[in-house]
C-alpha cells in the first residue's frame, strides 16, 4: 500500500479513471484541470463536471462507489498529487479535518453540477465559454490555457462552430487571445462581465464551503 502522495506531471487526455473500472488512484490537482465526461451510445461526449485545485477526483469514492459510469481525464495539462485509493480511505477514516474538508467539497461539487446543468440549458454559448475560461484561469493560476476549440465545444455541450464564433467574439472584444490551441486571458475583468451569473455562483460556492477555496490544503493533509 502506498504511504504518501506522488507528484505527477500530467499531459492533456491522460486517463484518470474509466467507466465501470475500479478506481485505484485519487488525484488532487495543483495547476491542471480534469474533466468528468459522459459518453453517448453514438460516441458523442459532453462534460458533466470539472475538477481543479479546489478539489479531488475522489467524489465517486466519497459517495461510496468503487467505480464511476463516466470517464475522467486531464483536460488542461499540469501537476497533481496522486494517492493510492486504499491509503486515501485509511487517511480519511483517521483524519477528521480531512474528512470535513472532503465532505464540504462534495456538497459544493453536487450543487455546482445542478447549476451547470441549468447554465448549459439557459445561457448563451458566449457566456458559458467565458465562464469556463474564468474557472480554468482560477484553477491553473496562469494566463495561458492549452485548449482546442474541439475540446471546449465538448465541455460546453455545443457544436464546434458555436465555440469558434464565441471565442472569436471574445477575442475581438480584447478579452482573450487564441492561437494554435492556446488561449491567453488578456482582460479578466472583461471576461467576467461577459460571463453568465454561474461563474459568480461557482466562485462563491467553493470559497464559502471550503473557506480558502483551495484544495491544496487537502493535498498537504494527504502528504503529511
Return d(Cα 166, Cα 169) in angstroms, integer: 5
Return d(Cα 194, Cα 175) in angstroms, integer: 9
Poorest-pLDDT segment among 38-47, 168-177, 197-206:
38-47
pLDDT over threshold 90, residue 63: yes
Q: Considering the chain, what percentage of its residues have pLDDT values greater than 70?
A: 90
Which residues lie closer than 8 Å to 143 by C-beta, 6 or more apart?
Answer: 137, 184, 185, 186
DSSP H stretches of helix in 15-95: 59-62, 85-94
pLDDT range class, residue 213, cuts 50, 70, 90: very low
pLDDT range class, residue 210, cuts 50, 70, 90: low
Backbone angles phi, psi at 99, to 5 degrees: -60, -40
Contact 200, 135 (CB under 8 A): no
Beta-carbon-side half-sphere exposure of residue 135 (alpha carbons within 13 Å): 34
pLDDT in tens, 130-164: 998 998 898 888 899 888 777 777 767 677 777 78
Domains of the chain, each with CATH number or no CATH? 6-119+205-223 (2.60.120.10), 124-195 (1.10.10.10)
C-alpha distance across the termini of the chain, in Å:
16
pLDDT range class, residue 1, cuts 50, 70, 90: very low
pLDDT over threshold 80, residue 9: yes
Amino acid at each position: 500500500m502506498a504511504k504518501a502522495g506522488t507528484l505527477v506531471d500530467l499531459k492533456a487526455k491522460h486517463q484518470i479513471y474509466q467507466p465501470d473500472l475500479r478506481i485505484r488512484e485519487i488525484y488532487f490537482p495543483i495547476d491542471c484541470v480534469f474533466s468528468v465526461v459522459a459518453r453517448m451510445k453514438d460516441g458523442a461526449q459532453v462534460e458533466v463536471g470539472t475538477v481543479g485545485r479546489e478539489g479531488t477526483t475522489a467524489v465517486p469514492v466519497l459517495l461510496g462507489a468503487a467505480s464511476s459510469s463516466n470517464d475522467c481525464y486531464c483536460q488542461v495539462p499540469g501537476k497533481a498529487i496522486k494517492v493510492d485509493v486504499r491509503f486515501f480511505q485509511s487517511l480519511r477514516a483517521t483524519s477528521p479535518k480531512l474528512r470535513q474538508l472532503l465532505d464540504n467539497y462534495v456538497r459544493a461539487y453536487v450543487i455546482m453540477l445542478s447549476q451547470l446543468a441549468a447554465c448549459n440549458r439557459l445561457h448563451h454559448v458566449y457566456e458559458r465559454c467565458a465562464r469556463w475560461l474564468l474557472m480554468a484561469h482560477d484553477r491553473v493560476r496562469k494566463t495561458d490555457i492549452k485548449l482546442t476549440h474541439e475540446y471546449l465545444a465538448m465541455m460546453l455541450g455545443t457544436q464546434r462552430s458555436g465555440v469558434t464564433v464565441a471565442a472569436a467574439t471574445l477575442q475581438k472584444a480584447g478579452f482573450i487571445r487564441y492561437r494554435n490551441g492556446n488561449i491567453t486571458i488578456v482582460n479578466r475583468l472583461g471576461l467576467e462581465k461577459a460571463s453568465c451569473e454561474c461563474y459568480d455562483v461557482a466562485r462563491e460556492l467553493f470559497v464559502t464551503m471550503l473557506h480558502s477555496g483551495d484544495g491544496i490544503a487537502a493535498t498537504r493533509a494527504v502528504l503529511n
